[in-house]
Structure 1
Amino acid sequence: MNDGALFGPKPVFDRWVAAQLALLLVMTGALLAGAGWHGGFRGAQALSGQLPPLLWECLTTLGDERVLLALMLPFTLRHPRVFWSVVLAALLTALIARGFKWGLPMPRPAAVLPPDQITVIGWRLKGLSFPSGHTGSAFAYATVWFACLGWRRGWPLIAVASIAGFSRIAVGAHWPIDVLGGAVFGTCGAWLGLRLAARWRWGLRPGPHWGLAVVAAIAVATLPFDGQGYPGSLPWRIAVALWGLGGFAAAYLVPLLRGGWKAAVAPLAGVADTKA
């Protein structure tokens, strides 16, 4: 499936993303009305306790932007419009989430609950709880693909993003409302990123695209050296980094070394000048 086929027609984006956003808002309202701001945390942690902490350490890294970039790097040259949309969606989601974190500084579970009532895996975080940035990143990434692929091919990515969000409760970093908020903002960021990418095509031009891919590769290369408080995830982070960097080398560096710059940018010829 080529990049253009993934992107048309535009109403598909709105239909799938609107349905997802409506469901998340209903879930958020139901949680607040039924259990309050801190509701659902103990039950979710009890459920997560059925699985080993090491698994949750690895799963929670799915909200790390570097892991998401690593997973996508082998496909960025084949699907430059999706890559550009993901970059914009991630930036917009991060801005929205960071604005709420600093404008509405809420305490995390570890700052509210006694130590014997919470399981903390990794760093014991206490401030800037709402929303979950990891969940926002995971949903921004997954929603762009979901909107492009449609329900049948895209729902597994939303399921994985949901698991990444749940892992933030499992490690004791966030309340369920934080996770739902992150999912809502990630969905909104994805919709905005998709719309902006359709109008602003700077990231589809060969130079900017290559620059973004190189920055992504450099970020991915730091994964083995920075676990953001989850040292047990090191083997997983190494594997993901190797996947991403291997894909980057195969898609970008090999053509560059074999055929020079013209061969390296050939897949991007005319992409920025054609409608999605």
Structure 2
Amino acid sequence: MRCHLTKMSTNYKSLLDQARASKAVVPQSSIQILLLVAVVLASTAMIGNVLGGYHFGFMEINSFSIYIPSFLLENMTVFGDGVFLLALVLLFSCRNIRFHWTVLFTTLLGAIVVNLLKDYFAMPRPPAVLDPETFNLLGRAYKARSFPSGHSLTAFLLASVCFCYVQNAYAKATFILLAVLVALSRVLIGVHWPMDVLVGGALGVVLGVGGVMITAKWKFGLCAYVHLFTLSLFVIACIIVFVDGNDYKLALPLLYVVSAAAIIRTMKSYVFVR
């Protein structure tokens, strides 16, 4: 028993030392590309608002949902769920302490910003404005706190963080594409206006870039106490998936599999070490 505890401690100390010793390099080219994405999203929102008002483009986009299987839409939209994304971080980047710190910081920052804006603007969602017979709605009919889209902000935020951490161009493109699909799904399932997802996406990119740049210099999250707290939050997020489930029932198998796999991998990486 004592030998195993010593091995756990040595393994964890090695991960911490590696995180502290590694130099965080934020590629300027990645930052520039991401900021360009934010500008495109924000500009599209502004132009759409000028030409068609706050509700521009909703009916046109939402009408395409009848051609897309509900299973696909529900599994697409959960990739903007913060709890599920934390489970994904554990599954695919279980031992990267520096990445954990960046994800924690940007996630908290994003949660504060999106909730403040939602409460301040208090914009009604499509189910609160439109006749249910005139558009396609999938899942729960949310009616309040529409602007900005939290799912879109979260998806673009984490996509931006991953964009800065990976080197492969195809992986970078995939992260942005997934964020775009998440944002699009919120309109397709009828719970957000295009304005909500465009502004949410732009904010997510800006906050993600800011979080990456700040945590690259601020190493507060690379100490044992803060990282253990971070790791605990990620594991709790996995457990919440099993306890609370999700509004999109067709996506539950995916959520359960990812969360279970993330918990198992965490146990193997930090507790049952060889």
Give TM-score, length-normalised by structure 2. 0.86
Residue 255 (structure 2) aligned to one of 237, 244, 248? 237
User: Aligned with 1:222: secondary structure?
Assistant: helix
- Asked if structure 2 preserves the Cα contact closer than 8 Å seen for 1:12 and 1:147, the reply is no
- Asked if structure 2 preserves the Cα contact closer than 8 Å seen for 1:74 and 1:251, the reply is no
- Asked if structure 2 preserves the Cα contact closer than 8 Å seen for 1:94 and 1:136, the reply is no
Number of the residue aligned with 2:228: 210
Once residues 74 and 141 of structure 1 are traced to their aligned partners in structure 2, the CA distance between those partners, rounded to angstroms, is 15
Once residues 215 and 128 of structure 2 are traced to their aligned partners in structure 1, the CA distance between those partners, rounded to angstroms, is 40
Number of the residue aligned with 1:183: 201
Once residues 144 and 185 of structure 1 are traced to their aligned partners in structure 2, the CA distance between those partners, rounded to angstroms, is 13
Change (3 A) 1:236 1:185: same
1:11-49 CA-to-partner distances (Å, cap 9, x unmatched) read 245323222212212222222233221011111111122
- Asked if structure 1 preserves the Cα contact closer than 8 Å seen for 2:25 and 2:216, the reply is no
1:60-88 CA-to-partner distances (Å, cap 9, x unmatched) read 11111111111110344442222211211
- Asked if structure 1 preserves the Cα contact closer than 8 Å seen for 2:125 and 2:145, the reply is yes
- Asked if structure 2 preserves the Cα contact closer than 8 Å seen for 1:86 and 1:140, the reply is no
- Mapped pair 1:46 → 2:63: yes
1:137-166 CA-to-partner distances (Å, cap 9, x unmatched) read 111111111123254431101111111111
The Cα shift of 1:188 comes to 1.6
1:217-274 CA-to-partner distances (Å, cap 9, x unmatched) read 111122133234222222121112122212212222222xx5xxxxxxxxxxxxxxxx
- Mapped pair 1:133 → 2:150: yes
- The code of the aligned residue for 1:248 comes to T
Identity %, equivalent residues = 30
Aligned residues: CA RMSD: 2.1
1:1-276 → structure 2 map (5 Å cutoff): 7-149=24-166, 151-255=169-273, 258=274
Structure number with the bigger relative contact order (C-alpha 8 A, sep ≥ 6) is 2
The Cα shift of 1:100 comes to 1.0
Unaligned runs of 5+ in 1: 259-276
Once residues 247 and 170 of structure 1 are traced to their aligned partners in structure 2, the CA distance between those partners, rounded to angstroms, is 34
Change (3 A) 1:243 1:78: same
- The code of the aligned residue for 1:223 comes to V
- The code of the aligned residue for 2:112 comes to L
| Equivalent residue pairs, number | 255
